[in-house]
Chain A
Amino acid sequence: MLQLLLAGVAQGCVYALVALGFVLIYKATETVNFAQGDLMMLGGFFALTASVMLGWPYWATILFAVAAMAAVGMLIERVVLRPVLGQPAFTVVMITIGVGYVLRGVVTMIPGWGTDTYTFPTPFADGTFKFGEVIFAEQQVAVIVMTAALVAVLYVFFRYSKLGVAMQATSQNQLAAAYMGIPVRRVNMMIWGLSAGVAAFAGILLAPATFVHSNMGFIGLKAFPAAVVGGFGSVPGAIVGGLIIGLVEAFAGRYMPEGFKDIAAYVVVLAVLMIKPSGIFGETARKKV
């Protein structure tokens, strides 16, 4: 029982981080970035390159992958999305789907990456330790601790930093933000960078469990329900939603018939949306027309 709980939370953490990426961009720009999973995949490959091919230590790998992905995220905003600023949300959504395809394609073309599946070494390896009745896999504990640390840093960032507050302001009212002296476009670019950086972090945490391959981004399909359950547009909601989906999957895999695990996330989404259409942490206020 506790064993399942632990596995579910660890898996949920990864969902939570990808969902967080969705939410950050949605809040700021009111578009859904369907390339979020693929950004995570690319982050995984960056980490793989640094770690396996260049032999860097684990921590340097994380820093490198997050920084590189932040740059990629900003570049995508600047080059692909800013020119369509002001176009209907549908246009932007289609573009992000396209960006996802392109990223998947590009990865398979790069020598040394390709369509193969790679294992990703971590210092936590496969060790386990026993605490009472429960066996803790070091791997899972590491995922949970690192997610918690990242969330704490993000919390402080949004609460206290000038840039973090500016991001919140921009996501609530871009016009007013500009008149407060906030460079709205640059802040939007930073949000894409932040979101892609978080995705890279998620990719690194996920890599040991699922290996690194060009289709690992499809986990975005699981993180999306997590964001919806939490109430799209709520940062704490994304975390809680991710954990819920992770736990539900873990328990469904154990107690439900074969195959149910993969649809459990969507069943939860339907249930939550029936009871609370705006999601658990969703804002009840309707957008004024």
Chain B
Amino acid sequence: MSFFQVKDLGIRFGGVVAVDRVSFEVKRGECYTIIGPNGAGKTTIFNLIGLLYPATSGKIFFQDKELTGLSPHQVADLGIARTFQNIELFEHATVLQNLLIGRHRHRRTALWQELLFTPAVRRAELAQREAVEKVIDFLDLAKYRDSLVAGLPYGVRKVVELGRALATEPRLLLLDEPSSGLNPEETDDMAFWIEDIKRQLGVTVLMVEHDMNLVSRVSDRVLALNMGTVIAEGTPAEVQANPAVIEAYLGKAA
């Protein structure tokens, strides 16, 4: 019985084996990070977990339920949320609206009730709004609440996307390079939030990240990939000291 498990996962695009029989397990409540040089297959693994494309081989289990064969929106319904390396927000909506869409899977009212705006709908809307306000407080987004996303600076949009993922109340949060494009100060904030998400909210985090500083700070365990295969697994310090990892990043000494 494992919380989240990837077993022999593989995908090939034509002749390129992007991910080759990768297996790992994420324990409830930990922060598990996947590192690796560019093109190692990290984001591809995320896309496979999100079922954006079907795996060529292997299986994915979440709380002992197999994900293979579901459609992408059902993954969200199970309580898996994700952020993207290049930010995928609803650009022409406000921060508040973006977070409210995160509540989609928690809306239970019927169409006719919504059209008539019955008291039950009003109560439900208030509850959704409260849940969103908690996220806004948590990530300190109050001053951007009604700003249009398209006009916000990159660093803030990154936080909004994190907020939208949190608004879905995930059990497992997938973060694809949370620090990419952030300045050192923003990266520092991001590290605090990831720690708080893990400790305070009790959300399990699966992360892809390049910034080794951030990785060492927040991760419990690290998996190193190169060319689609696993080359090391262990604590951040262990993996960083692993000769195979050093070689993958720096090349072999001549």
B65 in the interface, Cβ–Cβ < 8 Å?
no
Give bound CA distance, A207 to B35, whole Å.
64
Q: With the chains together, A178 CA to B80 CA distance in Å?
A: 12
A85-123 contact mask (Cβ, 8 Å, vs B): 1 or 0: 000000000000000000000000000000000000000
How far, in angstroms, from A281 to B72 measured CA to CA in the complex? 33
| A179 pairs with B114, CB closer than 8 A | no
The stretch that binds B, out of A6-14, A134-142, A168-176, is A168-176
Whether, in the assembled complex, A200 has its beta carbon less than 8 Å from a beta carbon of chain B, the answer is no
Is B199 part of the contact surface with A, judged by Cβ < 8 Å?
A: no
Q: Complex: how many Å from CA A173 to CA B84?
A: 13
CA distance in complex: A157, B50 (Å): 30
CB atoms of A182 and B114 under 8 A apart: no
B150/A180 in contact, CB under 8 A: no
Chain A residues positioned under 8 Å from B93 (CB to CB)? 168, 172
Q: Which residue in A157, A168, A173, A184 is a CB contact (below 8 Å) of B73?
A: A184
| Residues of chain B with a CB closer than 8 A to A179's CB | 50, 72, 75-76, 81-82, 88
Contact with A along B105-120 (1 / 0, CB 8 A): 1010101001101000
Q: Which residues of chain A have C-beta atoms less than 8 A from B114's C-beta? A: 157, 160-162, 164
Contact of A180 among B52, B74, B104 (CB under 8 A): B104
B residues in contact with A153, CB < 8 Å: 115
- Select from chain B the residue with minimum beta-carbon distance to A172: B90
Query: Quick check: A180 and B89 within 8 Å, CB to CB?
Result: no
Q: DSSP majority for the A interface?
A: helix
Q: Which residues of A contact B104 (CB under 8 A)?
A: 162, 165-166, 169, 180-182
Q: Which of B91, B100, B107 contacts A285 (CB 8 A)?
A: B91
B109 touches A181 (CB 8 A): no
Q: Is A163 in the interface zone, CB < 8 Å from B?
A: yes
> Which chain B residues border A166 with CB–CB below 8 Å?
104
Q: By the criterion CB–CB under 8 Å, are A172 and B72 in contact? A: no
Residue of A nearest to B103 (CB): A180
B102 within 8 A of A: yes
- Among residues of B, the one whose C-beta sits closest to the C-beta of A287 is B91
Kindly report which residue of chain A lies nearest to residue B113, judged by CB atoms.
Answer: A161
Known contacts A161-B114, A184-B73, A176 near B89 by CB under 8 Å: yes
Provide the residues of chain A in CB contact with B121, threshold 8 Å. Answer: 160
CA distance A168 to B82 in the complex (A): 20
In the bound complex, how far is the Cα of B76 from the Cα of A184, in angstroms? 12
Look across to chain A and name the residue whose beta carbon is closest to the beta carbon of B90.
A172
B77 in the interface (beta carbon within 8 A): yes
Most chain A beta carbons < 10 A, residue from B84, B88, B89: B88
**Cα separation A144 to B6 with both chains bound (whole Å):** 59
Interface membership of B63, Cβ < 8 A: no
| B92 interface hit (Cβ, 8 Å) | yes
A172's partner among B81, B91, B164 (CB-CB below 8 A) is B91
Give the Cβ gap from A155 to chain B, nearest Cβ, in Å: 11
A173-B150 contact in complex given A178-B76, A180-B168, C-beta closer than 8 Å: no
- Kindly state whether residue B101 has any CB partner on chain A within 8 Å: yes
Closest partner residue, chain A, to B92 (CB atom): A172
- For B106, give the chain A residue with the smallest CB separation: A181
Q: Assess whether B92 is in contact with A157, with CB atoms less than 8 Å apart.
A: no
A224 to B100, CA, bound (A): 33
Residues from chain A with a CB closer than 8 A to the CB of B147 are none
> Smallest Cβ distance from B28 to chain A, in angstroms?
22
Q: Is A283 an interface residue (CB 8 A)?
A: yes
Q: How long is the Cα–Cα vector from A184 to B89 in the complex, in angstroms?
A: 15
Contacts A160-B117, A172-B93 supplied; 6 other A-B pairs, CB < 8 Å: A157-B115, A160-B121, A175-B52, A176-B164, A179-B82, A180-B168
Which 8 pairs show the lowest CB-CB distances between chains A and B? A181-B76, A181-B105, A161-B114, A176-B88, A178-B72, A172-B90, A183-B73, A162-B107
What are 18 pairs between A and B in contact, CB < 8 Å?
Answer: A157-B114, A160-B121, A162-B104, A162-B107, A162-B109, A164-B114, A165-B100, A165-B101, A169-B90, A169-B101, A176-B89, A179-B50, A179-B76, A180-B168, A181-B105, A181-B168, A182-B76, A184-B73
